[in-house]
Amino acid sequence: MRHASAAARAVAVAGLLFGSAMTACTDSAPEVAPADPTYGLGHAPAPAALAAIDIDVDPTGRGLPVGSGSVTSGAVVYAAQCASCHGTRGEGIAPSPALVGRTPDVGYDFSKGERAPRTIGNYWPYATTVFDYVRRAMPLSSPGSLTANETYGVVAWLLHQNGIIDSTAVMDAKSLPAVAMPARRIFVPDDRTGGPAFR
């Protein structure tokens, strides 16, 4: 009986001590402020800063800037900014790809035969997105450094080299979306929905 009473007393004392410690910890814990949903990082960009990076151009030509460029002006810019990687005629210098070449003249159906070079003439479905890519990513040593006029000119030269536009053509926000690319017909909408029928 004495043994049971001593054990009961030990349990009671431990409970009191443990309970007191828990109460002390709970009572002394600092109050936590609500979480900051932004984590205190970043800031809202100024409209001018946002406009400087919001330069995407879609297949319809939405986003094309003011300006223009001819095949002749583009030849000068291409020679100075692009030829060292892509060759003087757009033939490509490894590891940089060829930009010029049509196999055959009506565009190449990559789904039905050997793999021809994926040049602008063979594989690019929209002239407007050629502009978008050149403007953002080229030249490799200083991407985004070409002006709108220089970019229009380079694109005009590349389209002419691929036999898509005439040597007198001038590219701008109106004429570039109207260019019919040879490979456009080989691209189809991806209407797959997934599930068992997805392949």
Residue 116: band (very low, low, confident or very high) from pLDDT cuts 50, 70, 90: confident
Contact assessment for residue 33 and residue 115, using Cβ atoms and an 8 Å cutoff:
no
Helix axes 148-161, 127-137, angle to 10 degrees: 130
**For residue 173, what are its two tokens?**
């926000």
- Can you give the pLDDT at residue 17? 43
> Does 129 fall in a domain?
yes
- Can you give the pLDDT at residue 147? 97
Number of domains in the chain: 1
- Can you give the pLDDT at residue 178? 98
- CA torsion sign for 84, 86, 91, 95 is positive
Of 34-43, 57-66, 75-84, the least confident = 34-43
Of 32-46, 124-138, 146-160, the least confident = 32-46
Residue 55 confidence (pLDDT) above 70:
yes
In single-letter form, the type of residue at position 186 comes to: I
At residue 81's C-alpha, the angle toward residues 75 and 84, to 5°, is: 100
> Does 137 fall in a domain?
yes
Residue 128 confidence (pLDDT) above 70:
yes
At residue 124's C-alpha, the angle toward residues 122 and 127, to 5°, is: 125
The domain in which residue 131 lies consists of 56-184
Whole-number Cα distances in Å, 121 to 116, 118, 164, 189: 11, 8, 7, 20
> Does 10 fall in a domain?
no
> Does 131 fall in a domain?
yes
> Does 17 fall in a domain?
no
Give the percent of the chain with pLDDT over 70: 72
- Can you give the pLDDT at residue 20? 43
> Does 50 fall in a domain?
no
Residue 70 confidence (pLDDT) above 70:
yes
Q: Residue 130 maps to which CATH number?
A: 1.10.760.10
Mean pLDDT, the chain, rounded, equals 83
Residue 44 confidence (pLDDT) above 90:
no
Contact assessment for residue 58 and residue 130, using Cβ atoms and an 8 Å cutoff:
no
In angstroms, rounded to a whole number, what is the distance separating the alpha carbons of residues 128 and 106?
Answer: 19
